[in-house]
Structure 1
C-alpha cells in the first residue's frame, strides 16, 4: 500500500498597503508523474476586511494572469468592512513551471476601510485557510489518502459542466 505523503499549502501576501497580491502555493509531498491529468481548484472565503475586485479579475483573466472568478453575486467594492459581507472566490490553480509536483494561484486583494479607533495601530484581518479541491481524470493513491468529501463546482473556468471535486486535507505552512 502506498504511504500518504502530505500536501502542503502556503499563503503569502506580496506588496504593502491597501493593494496586495495573495500567492497560494501547493506542494505535493511525492512526485506524481501523471499530475498533469489533475486540476486544482482553491475556494477562498474572503473576510469582510478585504475585497476582491471582480472587474480587476476579469481583466486579469483576459490577460491570462489568473483564472479566478467571484462566487458571491451581490457585492459592493465601495462598502467599508462593517457594512460588507464575506465573499467567496474560486481560483483554478496552475502547475508551477519550476516544480513538477507544485501548483500555484494568484489573487489580488484589497483592504476595505475600517471604522476609526482611538488607539493607533494596525487592524488585524484573519485570512482563513481555503478549501483545496482536486479533480483528476484517473484515480491516484493521494486522492484516497487525503480526500475528505466531494464538492460540486465547474470543471474549468469557462465551463458549464460541473465536476465532483475532492476536498483535500492539507498541512498549512506560514
Structure 2
C-alpha cells in the first residue's frame, strides 16, 4: 500500500518538473536571429537582424559568427568604416590574405555589434561588407555553394540583470563598447534561438575548359607583347 501511494507522487513531481522545463525553454525560444546577403556578385553586404524575447535595455547586443573559408572581411575596409562610425565589429584573425583563394584561406571569427532599431527596444540590426574568394576549377559544375553558419547571439550587460534560465556566461574577451576598455561579462542563450541561415553561390571555372583557357591566355599574352614591342621599336627613342 505504501509503495502504491508513493508512485503517483513521484510521477506528479516528474511531470511538474518536465512542464516547468518546457515552460522555461518555450519562454527562451522567442528570440530570433536572421541574416541575409544583399547585392549580387563577389562583393556583398551581410545583414544581421535580431529580435529579442525580452527587453535588453542597457545591454550591448552582438552576433558572433564563423565565416566560411570562401568569404572574408577586408580589415582595411573595416577600419575605414569604423573611423566613420558606420559599423562596429571585432575580427578575430591573426592575418587575412586578401588575395588567397578559398582552398588556402582560413575561417575567421567575427563579432558584429548590433544597433537598436528605431522605435523598438527589442529589435537590433547591423550590416557589414563581405567578399567571396575564388575557388578551384570544378568538373561538371559552374558554381560552389557557400553556407553561412547561423550566428551566435551574445549580450553584454554591465548594469543589467539577465534571466539565469535563458542566459549563461560566454568566454568573449572583448569590451561591451568602444567607450569601455574593460571587458565585461558576455552572455549567450542557453536555448538556441530561431535562426535563418544564408547561402551564397560563387561562380567556378570548369576543368574541361583548362586547355582552352591556357591556349587563349598564351596567345593573347604573345600577341600583346608583340604589339608593345613593335610600338616601342617604331615610336621609341633609343640613345646610343
Scaled to the shorter chain, the TM-score interval is 0.7 to 0.9
* TM-score in terms of structure 2 length: 0.65
Rg comparison, structure with higher value: 2
More helix by share: 2
Q: Give the Cα–Cα distance (whole angstroms) in 2 for the partners of residues 85 and 94 of structure 1.
A: 28
Corresponding residue number in structure 2 for 1:138? 160
Q: Give the Cα–Cα distance (whole angstroms) in 1 for the partners of residues 125 and 165 of structure 2.
A: 21
Corresponding residue number in structure 2 for 1:173? 196
Q: 4+ residue stretches of structure 1 with deviation over 6 A?
A: none
* TM-score in terms of structure 1 length: 0.87
- SS where residue 111 of structure 2 aligns? strand
- Is 2:90–2:110's contact at 8 Å kept on the other side of the alignment? yes
More strand by share: 1
Q: Give the Cα–Cα distance (whole angstroms) in 1 for the partners of residues 183 and 121 of structure 2.
A: 27
Q: Give the Cα–Cα distance (whole angstroms) in 1 for the partners of residues 168 and 151 of structure 2.
A: 14
Going from structure 1 to structure 2, the CA distance change for 1:60 and 1:17 (only over 3 Å counts) comes to: same
Q: Give the Cα–Cα distance (whole angstroms) in 2 for the partners of residues 123 and 152 of structure 1.
A: 32
After superposition, what is the alpha-carbon deviation per residue over 1:34-68, rounded to whole angstroms, capped at 9, x for unaligned? x2311112211111011110011111111211101
Deviation at 1:145, TM superposition (A): 3.3
Gaps of 5+ in 1: none
Gaps of 5+ in 2: 1-19, 198-240
- Is 1:146–1:170's contact at 8 Å kept on the other side of the alignment? no
Which structure's relative contact order is higher, taking Cα pairs within 8 Å and 6+ residues apart? Answer: 1
Corresponding residue number in structure 2 for 1:71? 92
Higher mean alpha-carbon deviation, 88-97 vs 8-17, is at 88-97
2:66 maps to 1:45: yes
- Is 2:33–2:151's contact at 8 Å kept on the other side of the alignment? no
| Length, aligned pairs only | 169
Corresponding residue number in structure 2 for 1:97? 118
Give 1:87's match in structure 2, choosing from 104, 108, 128: 108
